[in-house]
Amino acid sequence: METKDQKKHRKKNSGPKAAKKKKRHLQDLQLGDKEDAWKRNPKAFAVQSAVRMKLTKIRGPVRIVSGKKRRLTIIECGCDINMMIDLAKAADLVLMLIDASFGFEMETFEFLNICQVHGFPKIMGVLTHLNSFKHNKKLKKPKKRLKHRFWTEVYPVGKLFSLSGMVHGEYQNQEMHNLGRLITVMKFRPLTWQTSHPYILADRMEDLTNPEDIRTNIKCDRQVSLYGYVRGAHLKNKSQIHMPGRGGAHP
């Protein structure tokens, strides 16, 4: 049987499909390297591995959703007296890290005294560096001594959580899971000091100053917008507020 010659495929040079192809080709020529390649094919630059995507350095507060009606904001407190005072006013729960190999430090007692003045929020001790003890028998006496010392300074039968040690620079997953579960189910009592003193917990700041003013005079007056939460009592309109390190100011 004789076969008929099949016609070769011809590209369309006119029509709506051809116009779209020409437009797409021109856009591809105008696009650059990596950023524009992401615009052409965003799926190729999506997350491939959750392990490689992990954050190595965390800056600022970390907010965690622990339930339908509860969000937890974790703020790290350094060995600074001003930071201790600010966080003692706003904290509902204090996780006090205690080095079991060294014991209580002077900064620990200073922070406890600051907390007593500002309503004394709930405090839970967390023992760390327990892997420095080679045998469990040697660990029992220091834990018992630190527990009774913690109860004396804070309040009797206070929570004292233990972290056995770090593996490859990280705490064990099961221990962190238990600690998170304990924080999630914990109930916080309202503090008289916090409910009677209005204060703002700001976790984000934006500089709204005109860039031209900053260019001409780097020490010009700045216009700053703060975002956060008003806690305690209500703030009065046009009332003076105190900013730590800056003194009195108008909102």
Whether 233 and 199 have beta carbons less than 8 Å apart is answered as no
Radius of gyration of the chain (CA): 29
Q: What's the pLDDT score for residue 41?
A: 67
Rounded to two decimals, the pTM is 0.62
- Residue 180's pLDDT band (cuts 50, 70, 90): confident
Averaged over 79-92, what is the pLDDT?
83
C-alpha–C-alpha distance, residues 163 and 96, integer Å: 13
C-alpha–C-alpha distance, residues 113 and 85, integer Å: 10
pLDDT tens digits for range 155-164: 776 778 878 7
Residue 98 in this model has a pLDDT that exceeds 60: yes
C-alpha–C-alpha distance, residues 172 and 216, integer Å: 53
- Mean pLDDT rounded to a whole number for the chain: 77
As given in the structure block, the two tokens for residue 82 are 């001003």
Task: Name which CATH class applies to 62-194.
Answer: alpha beta
As given in the structure block, the two tokens for residue 66 are 């622990």
Domain boundaries, the chain: 62-194, 198-249
DSSP 106-168: HHHHHHHHHHHHTT--EEEEEEE-GGG-SSHHHHHHHHHHHHHHHHHHS-TT--EEE---EET
Residue 166 in this model has a pLDDT that exceeds 80: no
pLDDT tens digits for range 11-30: 667 777 778 877 777 666 55
C-alpha–C-alpha distance, residues 234 and 226, integer Å: 17
Q: Which of 152, 157, 127, 163 is nearest to 142 (CA)?
A: 127
How far is CA 173 from each of CA 65, 109, 166, rounded to the nearest angstrom?
Answer: 18, 30, 10
pLDDT tens digits for range 183-240: 888 888 888 888 888 888 887 889 999 989 988 998 898 888 888 888 878 888 887 7
C-alpha–C-alpha distance, residues 183 and 66, integer Å: 9
Q: Could you tell me what percent of the chain has a pLDDT over 70? A: 76
Residue 71 sits at φ, ψ, to 5 deg, of: -125, 135
